[in-house]
Amino acid sequence: MHDYLKGLNEQQKEAVLHINGPLMIVAGAGSGKTKVLTTRIAHLMNQGVDAFNILALTFTNKAAAEMKERIEKILGNSEARNLYIGTFHSVFARILRGEAHRIGYPNNFTIYDTDDSRSVLKTVINEMNLDDKHYKPSVVGNRISSAKNALVGPAEYATDYYIQQEDMRANRPAIAQIYAAYAARCFKNGAMDFDDLLLKMYELLKNFPEALHKYQHKFKYILIDEYQDTNAVQYQITKLLAAAHENICVVGDDAQSIYSFRGATIENILQFQKDYDDVKVVKLEQNYRSSQSILNVANEVISNNKGQIPKNLWTENSAGEKISLVRTMTDNDEGKFTADTIQEQKLRNHYHNRDFAILYRTNAQSRAFEESLRRMGIAYRIYGGVSFYQRKEIKDFLAYMRVIVNTNDEVSLLRIINYPARGIGKTTLEKCAIYANEQNIPLFEVVSRAGEFGFKGGTLEQLSNFVTMIRYFQSLLTDKNAYDVAVQVGKHTNITKELFADKTTEGLARYENIQELLNSIKEWTESPLNEEDGEVGEKSLGAYLQQITLLTDADDDKENSDVVKLMTIHAAKGLEFGCVFVAGIEEMLFPNAMSINTREELEEERRLFYVAITRAKHRLWLTYANTRYRFGQLVQNEPSRFIEEMPEQYIDKSYAGGGARNNFSSDMGSAFERMQRGFGFGSQAADAEKKYGPPPAKKTNSKPEYLPITPPSSKVVEHKPGADFVASDTSNLQAGQEVEHQKFGFGTVAKVEGSAHNPVATIVFKLNGEKKIMLNYAKLRIIS
DNA sequence: TTTTTTCCTATTGGG
DNA sequence: TAGGAAAAAA
């Protein structure tokens, strides 16, 4: 082990060497926070603290993984694998898995992501005969989430005067009942949503003294990263856990608090000093990341916020280049400017793709950048947005696995009971749901005892086939691993086959995604057992499913891949990049229109801006557009008020005003750009192709007004069948036969396809062109 | 029951 | 604009 104290400054050393008693580290941006945390943990272990007694909570899995890795490097052994390092959610999920029996949950409880949770809410709202247009699941869900994060249960929610007043004023008085029904339903489903992972952990510690005692003594040393972003539940949990030993170390920066929307409160950081006696406070004020110019701008901007914890962030780094402020005409130009500049910087200053990040306020802004990067042939990766595990095909597949492990999980059951289509439709399911609610039994039980509930014939057969299949998968659990089960699921459900048969681009992508999922399950199954696998400690399917839900796509980062990174500013917290573009510095967008109503909101936007700026090490571009498409509508935005808050002497505004230099392209591009803007695509289009490659295929919305080969279906040329029209038996219909359709008239059968139960004929009609006709329903008269 | 078409609404942020 | 959900057609 090398001397880990070397290379630390005085304050950092002070923080690392403090072992017992409460410690608060106020860590400015880029002040070596992670280094201090990891070194401190290594130091604790070096002083004889057992890794099993250390708990470190972070906000992202990535931060946790990075910490673990760095500790291992310092220590030079693999003791670090015994540390409890992870996000609040993943660590608590692990603990709850082991303690589930105490709070009445199965240890294989399902974790619902936001989509799953909204779908439960929708079901509950509909069952209560409320209008889901008025009680929107997303709105109600956010309200319930805030309640949970503030430790307000359904009972308290219903009786709290102010909460009720608020709901009344919003004309949503039933939220309290929905909340109660939602919580009950999740419990019945054996499922927890993200907020439950925190709330149930709190309840476990609060209501079960043995559990509290156990974990208080297990976690003798507690470290919490990003403390400024903790909310009330997280605060209460850590307070309970730390009460016995008071060896709690929190790291935070009030200037970087950006998660108040999910209940985080800066109060926690201020409260910390009141909660414990003799809190040692260490301020890390030397910034090792950014150039002088960048830091000066950041400091100046944040000074507009009131009530900051006083600190003086400074750096020994050189002044560096000025910050570039760039105005473009449109959001697309903003994208082109960014891609062009990246290309130019790569050539001129020998940067790589991986040195660049494009940060924006909202995910919707990513598209313009994607397009222009693709045209320039620059490799990029988007973080956030729809993650891998949120894709439909992946969720469908995982839903099978979830049902196998926990048949009470109604959300997953409803997802798959008729996917792939097996003839169990809406009517059948509605009946099942009614029985399940009447008798208060799980939906799956109704399905598996369908005969007793009066289902007969084909429906009964389909239902029992489904149950038999699930039971078969369950029988595999005892001696097959997660991967083997997954393969069987793919095979017996025909999911793989069905997707493989779909030769469209999207179908191909879906098939590949499933393959990728299978690979990742295999990889997980074969990876060595470690602390991550939970209290229960096994490689079961249940363990796999629980960790998968808590992953985000920022986590499976191929760190070395040479790509430009695109993400929201929120997602960029804790990261740093050589060159940073912050896009859309406009009123309504940043600060966002939703967050300009109170001083608190505006100050949070400003902190967000501060976070964005301080991600940059060497170069920083701030871009904004005169007009951009929002909502499919062209809108004009003023430059952001934050621009005026930046000190002029560090800003290069030569691309921010009007005039020729306003145009970003240094050479012939500028004329083209002006032409294009003024006159639409003209003779210069060829130049554009040379420069940017062929434009992406445009989906034309305008229908040609002449010569439609197949008339639009809305304009069916009506055919009136004779009074004697009699539908023929079409069970043996062959290609080449002539038929008469009740509505479309005469035509020739081109082919017959589809399953035996649901044959589909493609028929070319004389008057109405090609149609796909489902023979089970359409009335056809065979002529020859 | 399944597929296609039309309609509608959303865009602050994430584990 | 785009994607999902409801409505309509098959």
Question: Which nucleotide C1' is nearest A423 CA?
Answer: B1
Strand B close residues, chain A 84-103, CB < 7 angstroms: 87-90
pTM of the shown model: 0.84
For residue A593, give both structure tokens.
Answer: 């229109």
Tell me the pLDDT tens digit for each residue of A297-343: 999 999 999 888 888 999 999 999 999 999 999 999 999 999 999 99
Cα–Cα distance for residue pair A462/A423, rounded to 1 Å: 7
Please indicate if the annotation marks A30 as binding a ligand.
yes
- Of the two residues A533 and A66, the one the predictor is more confident about is A66
Is residue A710 pLDDT above 60, yes or no? no
- Of the two residues A122 and A744, the one the predictor is more confident about is A122
Active site residue A225: yes
In this prediction, residue A156 has a pLDDT band, given cuts at 50, 70 and 90, of very high
Tell me the pLDDT tens digit for each residue of A418-448: 888 888 888 888 888 889 989 999 999 999 9
**A428 CB closer than 7 A to any strand B atom:** yes
Please indicate if the annotation marks A32 as binding a ligand.
yes
Q: Which nucleotides of C are covered by protein (CB under 7 A)?
A: 1-2, 4, 6, 10
Cα–Cα distance for residue pair A245/A223, rounded to 1 Å: 13
Please check whether residue A359 is in contact with residue A612, taking contact to mean a CB–CB distance below 8 angstroms.
yes
Is residue A685 pLDDT above 70, yes or no? no
Amino acid letter for position A231: N
Q: Which residue has the tokens 């082990």?
A: A1
Selected catalytic residue, list A11, A12, A33, A623: A33
Say how far A764 CA is from C8 C1', in Å: 22
Please check whether residue A312 is in contact with residue A285, taking contact to mean a CB–CB distance below 8 angstroms.
yes
Strands (E), A540-630: 564-568, 577-582, 616-630
Mean pLDDT, rounded, for A593-620: 93
Is residue A735 pLDDT above 90, yes or no? no
Is residue A783 pLDDT above 80, yes or no? no
Active site residue A256: yes
Cα–Cα distance for residue pair A467/A447, rounded to 1 Å: 7
Mean pLDDT, rounded, for A256-265: 87
Please state whether beta strands A323-330 and A651-655 pair in parallel, antiparallel, or not at all (unpaired).
parallel
pLDDT for the residue numbered A706 = 25
Say how far A745 CA is from B10 C1', in Å: 42
In this prediction, residue A780 has a pLDDT band, given cuts at 50, 70 and 90, of low
Mean pLDDT, rounded, for A256-284: 90
Mean pLDDT, rounded, for A371-377: 91
Mean pLDDT, rounded, for A640-662: 79
